[in-house]
Chain A
Amino acid sequence: GTRIIYDRKFLLDRRNSPIAQ
């Protein structure tokens, strides 16, 4: 199956997304 791969920048950018607050 497809693996869900995220790079460091993508993960860091989600840090301050409204949904994570």
Chain B
Amino acid sequence: AKKKIAVPGVGEHPLQYNYSFWYSRRTPGRPASTQSYESNIRQIGSFASVEQFWRFYSHMIRPGDLTGHSDFHLFKEGIKPMWEDDANKQGGKWIIRLRKGLASRCWENLILAMLGEQFMVGEEICGAVVSVRFQEDIISIWNKTASDQATTARIRDTLRRVLNLPPNTIMEYKTHTDSINF
């Protein structure tokens, strides 16, 4: 069923873009094929204003409290959090691996920067993901054009600033075509 497009309520503070939250969890023992990925991902809902964002976010479990192999995705409304989406096909992502205990704070700082348009890269941002794993957690931010080095450099520099990470934190850029081939 087609989801209703979100609109800001009266007196609320509109965002530059509407966004949708998604949640996915890997079923143990299943291969990670495209089909099973798509069937394991659920849209939580969409929002158009700062206040609507908080209404969702305040009721969501913090990434650091998730167990098992799970992900939260926050993407612009209309973009699926998948490589195959037209907005992502030519794109890539910055990946930051986090030791356990940092995911909740880093995820919040990352999505607040995205919602508040702190990256200053025009239409380039597609969405962000936090992936909870056994040994470590991973946050990533996806953009449309992997070949645009000025954009990817600006995203990296903004990430460093808004996440306030230790200077030795490793940041890795991966194009989605690399991920597909891998």
Instruction: Give the complex CA separation of A14 and B13 in angstroms.
Output: 9
Residues of B within 8 A of A8 (CB): 109, 112-113, 116, 162
Say whether B115 contacts A6, CB under 8 Å: yes
Interface magnitude class on chain B: 20 to 34
> Which residue of A4, A14, A15 is within 8 Å of B16 (Cβ)?
A4
Say whether A5 contacts B117, CB under 8 Å: yes
> Which residue of B55, B58, B117 is within 8 Å of A3 (Cβ)?
B117
B118 at interface by CB-CB < 8 Å = yes
Say whether B117 contacts A6, CB under 8 Å: yes
B101 at interface by CB-CB < 8 Å = no
Q: When each residue 33-44 of chain B gets 1 if its CB lies under 8 Å from chain A and 0 otherwise, what string results?
A: 000000000000
> Which residue of B14, B51, B113, B162 is within 8 Å of A20 (Cβ)?
B51
Given contacts A4-B14, A6-B50, A8-B162, A20 and B118 within 8 Å (CB-CB): no
Q: Smallest Cβ distance from A15 to chain B, in angstroms?
A: 5
Residues of B within 8 A of A5 (CB): 16, 116-118
| Complex A-B: 8 CB contacts under 8 Å | A4-B14, A6-B13, A6-B50, A12-B112, A17-B51, A19-B11, A20-B55, A20-B58
**Chain B residues proximal to chain A, CB less than 8 Å:** 9, 11-16, 50-51, 53-55, 58, 109, 112-113, 115-118, 162
